[in-house]
């Protein structure tokens, strides 16, 4: 009888913990739920990257692989492992595409 009571108490506690964990909306646990577009980065003075529909992360990481400043901005803001901002100022490909000045 003692084993059955202990098992029942464990089940109730497990159910309570499970429901407490799952009662919060997904957006409260994850800033970017699976399937949602990534939160864009903001750099003052730099226009936002183009819409995600125009470009996609395809493994390119270097400025020499880009075709425009807008494309480089998209890759810097959305794609992991890019090597396009050597001085860390948030402006990608300054020599090739986004130098402007």
Greatest Cα-to-Cα distance within the chain, rounded to the nearest angstrom: 82
Is the pLDDT assigned to residue 26 strictly greater than 70? no
51 and 31 in a common domain: no
Looking at the structure, tell me whether residues 50 and 32 fall in a common domain. no
- Per DSSP, the three-state class of 96 is coil
Of 9 and 57, more confident? 57
Range of the domain at 15: 1-36
pLDDT at residue number 27: 43
pTM exceeds cut of 0.75: no
Residues in the chain: 101
Segment 38-57 shows an average pLDDT of: 62
- How far is residue 98's CA from residue 73's CA, in Å, rounded to a whole number? 9
Instruction: Give the Å distances, CA to CA, from 59 to 65, 70, 87, 98.
Output: 10, 17, 21, 20
Task: Let me know whether 52 and 101 are in one domain.
Answer: yes
Condensed to tens digits (0 to 9), the pLDDT of residues 61-72 reads 999 999 999 999
């Amino acid at each position: 009888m003692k084993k059955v009571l202990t098992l029942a108490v464990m089940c109730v506690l497990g159910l309570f913990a499970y429901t407490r964990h799952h009662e919060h909306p997904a957006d409260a646990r994850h800033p970017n739920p699976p399937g949602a577009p990534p939160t864009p980065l903001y750099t003052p003075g730099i226009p936002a990257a183009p819409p995600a529909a125009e470009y996609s992360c395809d493994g390119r990481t270097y400025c020499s692989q880009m075709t425009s400043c807008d494309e480089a901005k998209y890759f810097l803001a959305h794609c992991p492992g890019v090597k396009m901002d050597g001085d860390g100022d948030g402006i990608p490909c300054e020599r090739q595409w986004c130098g402007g000045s």
